[in-house]
Structures are given as structure tokens and as C-alpha cells.
Amino acid sequence: MAHFIFSAFSDESGEQSIAGQIAACKANGIAEMELRGFGKELNINNMTVEQAKEIKKVIDDEGMKVSSIGSGYGKINIKDDFEPHFEAFKNTVEVAKILEARYLRMFSFFFDKEDSYDEYRDEVIRRVKAMVDYADENGVKCCHENEKGIYGDTPERCLDILEACGGKLRAVFDPANFIQCGVDTLKAFDMLEDHIEYMHVKDAMYADGQVVPAGDGEGHVGEIIKKLAFKVAPIVLSLEPHLKVFEGFESLENDDETKKGMDKHTYSSYKDSFKAASDAMHKLVEEAQPIRCGIVGVGNMGSSHICNILEGKVYEMRVTAVADINPERLEWAKKMVPWAKRYNTAKELFESGEVDAVIIAVPHYFHPPYVIEALENGLHVVSEKPAGVYTKQVREMNAVAEKSDKVFAMMFNQRTNCVFRKIKEIVESGKYGELHRVNWIITDWFRTQSYYNSGGWRATWSGEGGGVLLNQCPHQLDLWQWICGMPSKIRAFCNEGKWHDIEVEDDVTIYAEYPNGATGVFVTTTGDFPGTNRLEITLDRAKIVCEDAEKITLIELEEGIVDKIKNAQQGFTRINTHEVEVETDGINDQHSGVLNAFTGKILRGTPLVADGTMGLNGVIISNAAHLSYWTNETVSIPFDEDKFYDLLMERVKNSRAKTNVVEHVEDDMSSTY
């Protein structure tokens, strides 16, 4: 999903100074500006480099940015002398560089009524390319705006210009301008969609071209914003109200009809007209991306989720709040999502009213208590893996979730991998009979001592609650049981600190038994290199091999193993086999797939990738493995969960962690993480 960047033609706030324009934007939730004019005398076309430097200092001091230069280049007649126009353009390119603007807006020249578009087409392209090439050589990206009376007044001619520039020129999409040309805005959007990075939020009526707040006209602005929301890119939404004639309009525009239309509105002040336009824009974006999301914990995974959302990988969700106890992480979030509210504790975020849903991305012990607290505050929740450290807290979390009407999901993103989905489909189909054996060697987690030394909480009983099983392998433990079902017995060897100076396990071998007599072996470590990731599943009439979570090899047996063993007349006979090509859908959406399914469940009731309560089984296997090692016994599932908890707490009590996370969880689950 697109990350929408809110911008505005800040001169339409009625403010003539840069400071006043910045204040107007901030008051209306607009983080960037499209600079155009500063009263009657100064506008972006005649601004000097020195003036630009002065303005840039004010912009930087106020923490604002310039999305675009709202220039008027290309707004001369096609028969006018181009050279002085081009020389002025070169100066504005320097101004754009100083202001660090993303884009420089331009047009494609006015025509007299008697002029032929075909006759002057090549001259239009020559002039546009001259400006675009010059800007591109100087690191500035030009965007062409459609407008009445210029060559690019229809989507067909806009496309002609864009394609002639070979990708160097992008499109500004202005729905109101298309309406004033009698163009269907939805058809225009479909034609130009691949070229659009930037939209003027402006609506109008077909009858008289009257500009109105976005959504009040006939330009399908809301529908177009929803379409843009599904583009995998940042999209600038630049507010161009045109609801009240502002100071300096005459020096920028020579369109008397537009001025008459603006005069028809009855807003008492520029402040009111600017706010009305801004409110309309925000409303349409909220409808396009309705889920307000909070990120609890802006560490490795929390920041990754923020980046995925900003990169346009998540539909129908926007980040509106973050929480972390680390001021440095909040500063990072301020730079990445400056519009999002920032909180020092999860509790403040949960109670803020700023979010509809939260992603819990904090140390393992805090997953269940924060899920519980979020659900009890009426929020939808996605929890990072694992579901928790011990089954008792996960069961408590699941009990609360089952009573809640809110959506609860686990971040089991590996379930989105087409390879694992296909393996599960093959196993569950029953075509090849029952499970005989599953072996998973997953030893490509190599970590150095430096990794474990990077945080006082890492690889400690008090800080993480476990080692490779709880940190690196929750996805594989989940996939193991998701594909093959839950084992009934576990015998495990969890070597603690075998390869590293840590107190938790870094080398594990698990032997498992299933109710039907099948067996399994799971081997993992952070001490092998280069390591292996190989999953083998033996069914009665097939063998599945998966290497590196990428390739499936399926070997079909022409006879079942059990029947062959019982009925074969020869002692050393073999079973004929053949390899079958396995096709997948190729989709592997990972984290964004989980979040898109999460929003779909909230909005439409469509399935989740993994319901939050499904996190229990992986924790059961992990806990059973630890209990087996600690007691030197085979552990039957279900096992004595109180016994496991008591043994875990003994280790927590003697943990070398600098901070006892468990005490924080038990004393005040919302105070820190």
C-alpha cells in the first residue's frame, strides 16, 4: 500500500511568509509543502538562489520539507520564445536542489484556439524534453500536470509526453483539471496510473468547472485515492484548494474562469477554506486506509514493520502511533513517521485513542500481557513470534482473546511462503497416506559471541526465556506442527552454552513421536557454518524434500510402504518411484501478507494467515523440549506446565541478565519493555 505524504500549496492558506505557511500546514496535519508564491512580488519562478537558502533555513528549523516546486514552467504559449523561459527554468532547478524538493511541477504549453496540436506536437516534445533532461542531469525529477488549454489536457496527450521522455518525466494527476476539460477522471487514471507518483487533491463539477472540496465533486477523487493506496510506492497528495482567491493569484495564474469559480465560495477566511480542503483530503485518505495502527516496540521487528508499511506493502493500514522506552528509537520513529504520536509506554499508546490496532514487537515475555492489555482496551492485535515464553501465560492470553470480539493474529509470516503452503496441501490431501517420519535440520542460524553480547537481555532466561528454540526457531516449530500435526512425546537434548558464552540453549536435537507411531527429528543450532535447512517428510506413498525453504522435491511411490512390507515376496525388493513436478502459486508475501490478511479480517471478515491462538502449539513443543532436557526424561504432551514454569523461574532467578524482564511483567506489565 502506498505511503501517502500530505503536502499542500501552502500559499493558498493566505499566508505570505514562509513561517506563516508552515504554521498553516502544521495546523492542518500537513507535513510537506508545494512551494509556489509568497505574495504579489515573490514566487517560485523568480526566486533567487540566495532567497531559496533563506527559506530553506526556516523550513529546516521548523522541521518541514518541500514535496514539490509548484512552478509555472510550460505555461507560456507554444509560439512564445522558449529560450528566456528555459534560462529561468535552469535557475528554478537550482532553487529546487537547495530546497531539497522531491519534484518540480511543469506544464506542456498553451495553444491558441486556432492552433493545431498535431502541428506543434514535435515542438512541445522538444521543449518539454529540454527541461526534463536538464533537471534530470541535475538530480531533480520533473512531473507534468494536466491542465486545460495546454498540449497535455487529455490523458492521451499526457501519455504521449510521458512516453516521449523515456521515464524521466512523471505525472501529476489533477482530477479537477481533467473535469474542466470534460475528461472522465477514472479513465484518465487507468491510462496514466503507471506514471503517477503525485496527485493534486482538487475536485470539480462538470457543469461549470467549479472547484469544490475533494469528494464533493464529480472527479471520483476518493476512488482514485483508494486506487493509489494500492501502489507500492510513496504517493504525494498535494492539496490545491482553489476555494478562495489568495494573495498573489494574479501573478501566478491568468485564468479568469478559475478566479470566478473561487469567488463563488463563501468561506469567511483563507484559514477556513484551507481547513475545509484539508479536512476533505484527510477524510478520503482515512477511508482509503481505514486501519490506524500502533507499533509497540520500535526495535528490529517494529522498525521493519514500519518500513514495510511505508514502502507500500501493506494495504488499508497506516501508522498513527508508536511506543518505546528507548528515546533513540522514538527519535528514529519521529524521522520515519513524523505524523505518528509517540509514547514512552505501551499503556499510554493503548489508552490514547489514536489507534484501532497494534503490532506487538517487544521482548518475548511481554507478548501475552501486552496482547491481553490491548484486547482489553478494545484494540485488534498482531503479536510477533513466539506467542510467549511459557504455556501458562499463552493460555491466559488465548482465554482473553477467545472472549474478545477483536481480531488477534500471530506474525507467522513463514506460513505465507508458497513452498510451505504447498507442502501442507500435499500432506493434508491424504493422497499419499499417513505420516511416517519428519526430519528437519535447520542449522543455518550462525551467530557470533558479539551478537549475544549486543544486549544484556539476549540469550538469558530472564531476558528472552530461551535461546535458539525461542529466538530463531519459532517459525519452524510452528510450521512443523502446522504441516505434520502435534507430536505426543518429546525427548530432547538442549545444550546450553555449547558454542557460545550464554546461559540458554544454542544446540538442540529433538526426537518426537506421534500418536500413529510416526517419528520426527528436529536439529538446530547457532554454532554451525554454513549450516543446512532441509525438511524431509516421509509419507506412506511419497517423500517430500524441501531445501532452503525454496525448492520442493516430491517423489511418488507406486506402492505404499506398509503394503509392500507386509505383502512383498522378496526380502530385498524395492518400490518403483518417480519424481513429480510441484507447482506453487509463487506467492511469498511474508510479513506484509500477514498484515494484509489481518486488515482484511477486521474490515471484511476474510481469513487470517494465523489466528493468534495458534501460537500455543509451538510454545508447547519448545517447553516440552526444555522440560525433557532439564529432567532427563521423555515428556508426554500434554505435560506438567506448572513443573515447567517452576524450573524456568529457578533459572530466571539465577539469570545473568542485567534486567529481569519477568519481574517487570509480573509487577507492572505496562511499565517497560
Q: CA-CA distance, 160 to 80, in Å (whole number)?
A: 22
Backbone angles phi, psi at 543, to 5 degrees: -130, 130
pLDDT digits (tens, 9 = 90+) for 146-165: 999 999 999 999 999 999 99
Tell me the percentage of the chain whose pLDDT exceeds 70.
94
Judge whether residue 79 has pLDDT over 90. yes
Cell readout for 62 is 521548523
Looking at residue 251, what is its pLDDT?
52
Q: Are the C-beta atoms of residues 25 and 13 closer than 8 Å to each other? A: yes
Q: CA-CA distance, 351 to 378, in Å (whole number)?
A: 9
Nearest CA to 482 out of 416, 398, 391 is that of 416
Tell me the percentage of the chain whose pLDDT exceeds 90.
85
Query: What is the H or E stretch that residue 625 is in?
Result: helix 616-631
Judge whether residue 231 has pLDDT over 80. no
Count of alpha carbons within 13 angstroms of residue 444, beta-carbon side? 10
Q: Are the C-beta atoms of residues 91 and 43 closer than 8 Å to each other? A: no
Looking at residue 87, what is its pLDDT?
97
pLDDT digits (tens, 9 = 90+) for 321-333: 999 999 999 999 9
Looking at residue 309, what is its pLDDT?
84
Place of cell 527554468: 89
Nearest CA to 515 out of 399, 636, 403 is that of 636
Nearest CA to 80 out of 15, 33, 127 is that of 127
Cell readout for 373 is 492489555
Banded pLDDT at 232 (limits 50, 70, 90): low
- The b-or-e profile of 583-614 (16+ CB within 10 A means b, else e) is eeeeebbbbbbbbbbbbbbbeeeeebbbbbbb
Judge whether residue 290 has pLDDT over 60. yes
For the chain, the average pLDDT equals 93
Q: CA-CA distance, 69 to 43, in Å (whole number)?
A: 10
Looking at residue 184, what is its pLDDT?
97
Looking at residue 189, what is its pLDDT?
97
Judge whether residue 590 has pLDDT over 50. yes
Cell readout for 75 is 505555461
Q: CA-CA distance, 306 to 75, in Å (whole number)?
A: 40
Residues near 440 by Cβ (< 8 Å), separated by ≥ 6?
A: 476, 480, 520, 521, 522, 523, 534, 535, 536
Q: What is the DSSP letter of 637?
A: S
Looking at residue 496, what is its pLDDT?
97
pLDDT digits (tens, 9 = 90+) for 498-556: 999 999 999 999 999 999 999 999 999 999 999 999 999 999 999 999 999 999 999 99
Looking at residue 261, what is its pLDDT?
53
pLDDT digits (tens, 9 = 90+) for 8-35: 999 999 999 999 999 999 999 898 999 9
Q: Are the C-beta atoms of residues 99 and 33 closer than 8 Å to each other? A: no
Residues near 495 by Cβ (< 8 Å), separated by ≥ 6?
A: 505, 506, 507, 508
One-letter amino acid for residue 299 of the chain: G
In order of 129, 175, 504, 530, 644, the CA distances from 641 in angstroms are: 72, 62, 19, 36, 5
Looking at residue 429, what is its pLDDT?
97
Banded pLDDT at 635 (limits 50, 70, 90): very high
Average of per-residue pLDDT across 653-661: 77
Q: CA-CA distance, 196 to 234, in Å (whole number)?
A: 10
Q: CA-CA distance, 212 to 201, in Å (whole number)?
A: 10
Nearest CA to 144 out of 122, 115, 165 is that of 165
Three-state SS sequence of 78-139 = CCCCHHHHHHHHHHHHHHHHHHCCCEEEECCCECCCCCCHHHHHHHHHHHHHHHHHHHHHCC
Judge whether residue 664 has pLDDT over 70. no
One-letter amino acid for residue 279 of the chain: D
Average of per-residue pLDDT across 558-578: 95
Cell readout for 258 is 478559475
Which has the higher per-residue pLDDT, 289 or 634? 634
Looking at residue 663, what is its pLDDT?
62
Average of per-residue pLDDT across 100-107: 96
pLDDT digits (tens, 9 = 90+) for 472-508: 999 999 999 999 999 999 999 999 999 999 999 999 9
Nearest CA to 361 out of 442, 295, 414, 314 is that of 295
Three-state SS sequence of 4-52 = EEEEEEHHHHCCCCHHHHHHHHHHCCCCEEEECEECCCEECCCCCHHHH
Nearest CA to 246 out of 20, 26, 30, 13 is that of 13
Banded pLDDT at 672 (limits 50, 70, 90): very low
Nearest CA to 277 out of 3, 23, 39, 13 is that of 13
Q: Are the C-beta atoms of residues 583 and 574 closer than 8 Å to each other? A: no
- Cis (ω within 30 of 0) for the bond into 515? no
Place of cell 491466559: 396
Place of cell 522538444: 126
Cell readout for 25 is 500546514
Q: Looking at the chain, how many residues does it have?
A: 673
Other CB atoms within 10 A of residue 563 CB: 13
Average of per-residue pLDDT across 200-228: 94
Which has the higher per-residue pLDDT, 278 or 259? 278
Q: CA-CA distance, 605 to 602, in Å (whole number)?
A: 6
Looking at residue 669, what is its pLDDT?
37
pLDDT digits (tens, 9 = 90+) for 388-439: 999 999 999 999 999 999 999 999 999 999 999 999 999 999 999 999 999 9
Which has the higher per-residue pLDDT, 40 or 622? 622
Other CB atoms within 10 A of residue 314 CB: 26
Banded pLDDT at 265 (limits 50, 70, 90): low
